[in-house]
Amino acid sequence: MKWFLGILSVILLLFLALVAAVVLQNVDPVQQEPTFAPYPFADTLAARPYDLDSLKALIGDNKGLPPGFEVAAAIAYSAYPQLKDVNIDMILTQEGAPMESNLNIWSLFGRRENREYRVLLNNAENTFFDPILLRSLPFDAQVGILAHELGHVAYYHQLNLFEFGKWGLSYLRNDEFRAAHERSTDLMPVYHGLGSQIYQYAYFVRNDPSCKALYEVEKGFMDKYYMTDKELWNVLAK
């Protein structure tokens, strides 16, 4: 019995040490502007010819492309040269939030270059979120919101295990932390040359007739946690 209590005590001490290491981390929720100059993407990317093979060569062979949205995804990837060597997959799902970025938790315990990130894209039929799912968006808005999700990945990739734990706890428990993080992540496409595209996304989900009913219900949530089209327009006009 004594050996069991000894093992239990060690496990408890290790757990408390882990909790303390996480709690003591100082994690800024606000995304920072990168130091490199972005590629100058055009304000309108739709109705242009694209060579997908050339885009794949540019972004690396460790990037998953969602079926039916390969070009939009590849363009979004191409705006983040710092992620070229990072393993990222974009996966169409039948549940969950309209778009969500996360990672294979177990990959956090290995080398940073071996981490595996995922962008989950809800593609379910006949749901409340239908008007703002990827398939319902104009091409430029698709690129914009995918660039937003990759902004999360760029942020995650800077964090170590303990910092990521602190970020996750703060994101789930602190509304102001979550709002600061999400709203600053809306600026990541701007910082990476896709400001017009994230603006077009924000405008579409708030003003297109197909989104009117959803926006009326979700207006408080959307405008608190994400930048409005007017706010993004003001940023782009500077």
With DSSP H G I counted as helix, E B as strand and the rest as coil, what are the percentages for the chain, rounded to 5?
A: 60, 10, 30
Q: Look at the block and give the residue holding tokens 């093992």.
A: 7
Per-residue pLDDT in tens (0 to 9) along the chain, 238 residues:
655 545 555 455 454 544 555 556 688 899 999 888 899 999 999 999 999 999 999 999 999 999 999 999 999 999 999 999 999 999 999 999 999 999 998 998 889 999 999 999 999 999 999 999 999 999 999 999 999 999 999 999 999 988 988 898 999 999 999 999 999 999 999 999 999 999 999 999 999 999 999 999 999 999 999 999 999 999 999 8
State the Cα–Cα distance between residues 84 and 77, nearest whole angstrom. Answer: 8
Per-residue model confidence (pLDDT) at position 25: 64
Are the CB atoms for 86 and 55 separated by under 8 Å? no
State the Cα–Cα distance between residues 35 and 24, nearest whole angstrom. Answer: 28
State the Cα–Cα distance between residues 189 and 194, nearest whole angstrom. Answer: 5
DSSP secondary-structure letter at 158? T
- pTM, two decimals, is 0.91
Q: Which residues pair with 100 in a beta bridge?
A: 120
Map out the domains of the chain as residue ranges. Answer: 2-237
Q: Look at the block and give the residue holding tokens 């997908």.
A: 52
Paired tokens of 45:
């990317």
The answer to whether the Cα torsion of 72, 73, 74, 77 is positive or negative is positive
Are the CB atoms for 169 and 162 separated by under 8 Å? no
